[in-house]
Amino acid sequence: MNCGLDFGTSNSTLSLCRERAVTLVPLEGEEITIPSAVFYAVNASDARFGKQAMRLFMEGEEGRFMRSLKRILGTSLMNDGTVVNGKLKRFEDVLGDFIGNMKAAAERHSGVEMTNVVMGRPVHFADNDSKTDSRAQDELQNIAKAVGFKHVAFQYEPIAAAFAHERTLRSEQLALVADIGGGTSDFTVIRLAQNMMDKSDRTDDILGNSGIRIGGNDFDKDLSLSAFMPDFGYGTDYGEKNLPLPAVPFHDMSEWSKINFLYTPKMHKQMRDILPQSHAPEKFSRYIKLLEEGKGHQLLAAVEECKIGLTDHLQMTALLDFVEAGFAVSVARAVFNAAVDKHVRAIVSDIDDCLRQAQVREKDVELIILTGGTTEVPLLKKTVAAKFPQADISEENKLSSVGLGLGYEAIRRFGTAG
């Protein structure tokens, strides 16, 4: 059977193609979206995935938790591998476990083997680095084939989202798709209309593509550094020379894909050696507790929850009693806006690049398609809306439109027989 697979930095979906119908598969219980998370419990032979993986880890189950694995594709970390419960494991195998679990869920649901797949990919896995970009796609293709897909094709994620929305249009429209997920922001300018859906080649309709390696994980990181990490010693000094504490450990503790690499005896010793010289030992000792008790993911989950809460509220308070009894951090939306403003400006600049490539003006755009969870950020949504005041804005199926569109692309690539 043909399918479309959206392996996302934060969340993933898979769609099935039966004849000309495309449906999303329940991947975790009745949920059609699964968090891109893996947990290897010490006392279990099989990995756990999605919300179950996150719950087991947050409840204190001993083991190795990983998230935002998509960001490792194409990097040197893919070659290094990682230690999982005392044994070296290749990242190809970790990603294979997650993608293989999605494939198995689809096969249990349909009763049919998944043979052909169109996988989504960002416009650029890495900014201004064609070698890394090619390597990342090759790695993803090899992983897909290793878990049993026989034929693997790729489509840009914003184009897939456009195809999903096209079925609801009543007339031809010039659209800008903004797909802003956990790891990247990707844009496409495309002509859409229902009478174009069956065209075998849409090259002439796709006017421009661009992308930048900025996403919700970067928003989490800068919210953590600006509003949370100062209470863990970030920005404070140590020693007789009043040197600032090393910044890299705080940055790595604020990035989903790097937290696990801090949990080493060498890092523990380095931070412990600095503590007696710290000018803010109460704060810095909290960081050391995060490090030695492996609480970094738990803290970043609280940061992410705070970010999401600031969508609807002007202020949020994160209770961090897993660090210290009664310890909490309050964050105003204005603080969050200031922390991520540079990312919003970079995203808008990349939109401008996409428009230039497409040779269209802002006023020519009739429809804005917002997809990906990060488009919920109020500052970003407000900025995009103000840039295109004449355009309609569609936010339908924000977390699943890419997966649906990849299913329609699978029909185009592989036919309806699958």
141 half-sphere exposure, CB direction, 13 A CA radius: 11
pTM: 0.91
Would you say residue 121 has pLDDT above 60? yes
Average pLDDT on 264-284 reads: 96
Q: Is-contact 371 161, C-beta < 8 A?
A: yes
How many separate helices (H) and strands (E) can be counted in the chain? 13, 20
**Which of 122, 102, 132 shows the shortest CA–CA distance to 114?**
102
Residue with the bigger pLDDT between 59 and 331: it is: 331
d(CA 68, CA 72): 8
**CATH of the domain spanning 2-168+396-414:** 3.30.420.40
Average pLDDT on 155-183 reads: 94
192 half-sphere exposure, CB direction, 13 A CA radius: 27
**Which of 185, 138, 152, 145 shows the shortest CA–CA distance to 8?**
185
Phi, psi of 240 (to 5 degrees): -65, -25
Average pLDDT on 84-108 reads: 95
216 half-sphere exposure, CB direction, 13 A CA radius: 25
Q: Is-contact 90 100, C-beta < 8 A?
A: no
Cross-strand bridge partners of residue 175: 190, 367
Would you say residue 101 has pLDDT above 60? yes
Q: Is-contact 246 347, C-beta < 8 A?
A: no
Taking domain 171-395, whether its CATH number is 3.40.50.2300 is answered by: no
**Which of 239, 321, 223 shows the shortest CA–CA distance to 280?**
239
Stretch(es) of the chain classified as CATH 3.30.420.40: 2-168+396-414, 171-395
Task: Write the pLDDT tens digit of every residue in 301-311.
Answer: 999 999 999 99
Residue with the bigger pLDDT between 44 and 417: it is: 44
Contacts of 106 (CB under 8 A, 6+ apart): 3, 14, 16, 25, 27, 114
d(CA 22, CA 177): 21
Look up residue 278 and give its DSSP letter. B
Q: Is-contact 340 221, C-beta < 8 A?
A: no
Burial of 206 (0-12, 13-18, 19+ CB in 10 A): middle
d(CA 71, CA 126): 9
Contacts of 210 (CB under 8 A, 6+ apart): 123, 186, 187, 350, 351, 353, 354, 357
| Predicted local distance difference test score (pLDDT) of residue 353 | 97
Look up residue 209 and give its DSSP letter. E
Greatest alpha-carbon span in the chain: 73
Instruction: Tell me the residue type at 366.
Output: E
Angle, vertex CA 227, rays to CA 230 and CA 381, nearest 5: 155
Contacts of 389 (CB under 8 A, 6+ apart): none
Give the three-state DSSP class for 175: strand
d(CA 210, CA 352): 9
| Predicted local distance difference test score (pLDDT) of residue 106 | 97
Question: How distant, in Å, are the alpha carbons of 77, 127, 194, 320, 331 from that of 81?
Answer: 6, 23, 46, 31, 36
Would you say residue 417 has pLDDT above 80? no
Contacts of 147 (CB under 8 A, 6+ apart): 96, 99, 100, 103
| Predicted local distance difference test score (pLDDT) of residue 19 | 79
Look up residue 259 and give its DSSP letter. G
Would you say residue 74 has pLDDT above 70? yes
Burial of 325 (0-12, 13-18, 19+ CB in 10 A): exposed
| Predicted local distance difference test score (pLDDT) of residue 418 | 57
Distance of CA 158 to the CA centre of its chain: 14
Average pLDDT on 383-391 reads: 96
Minimum mean pLDDT among 63-67, 98-102, 147-151, 227-231: which range?
63-67
Average pLDDT on 162-176 reads: 93
Instruction: Tell me the residue type at 295.
Output: K
Task: Write the pLDDT tens digit of every residue in 186-206.
Answer: 999 999 999 898 888 889 999
- Average pLDDT value over all residues in the chain: 94
* Block residue for tokens 């099935």: 16
Q: What proportion of the chain, given as a percentage, has pLDDT over 90?
A: 85
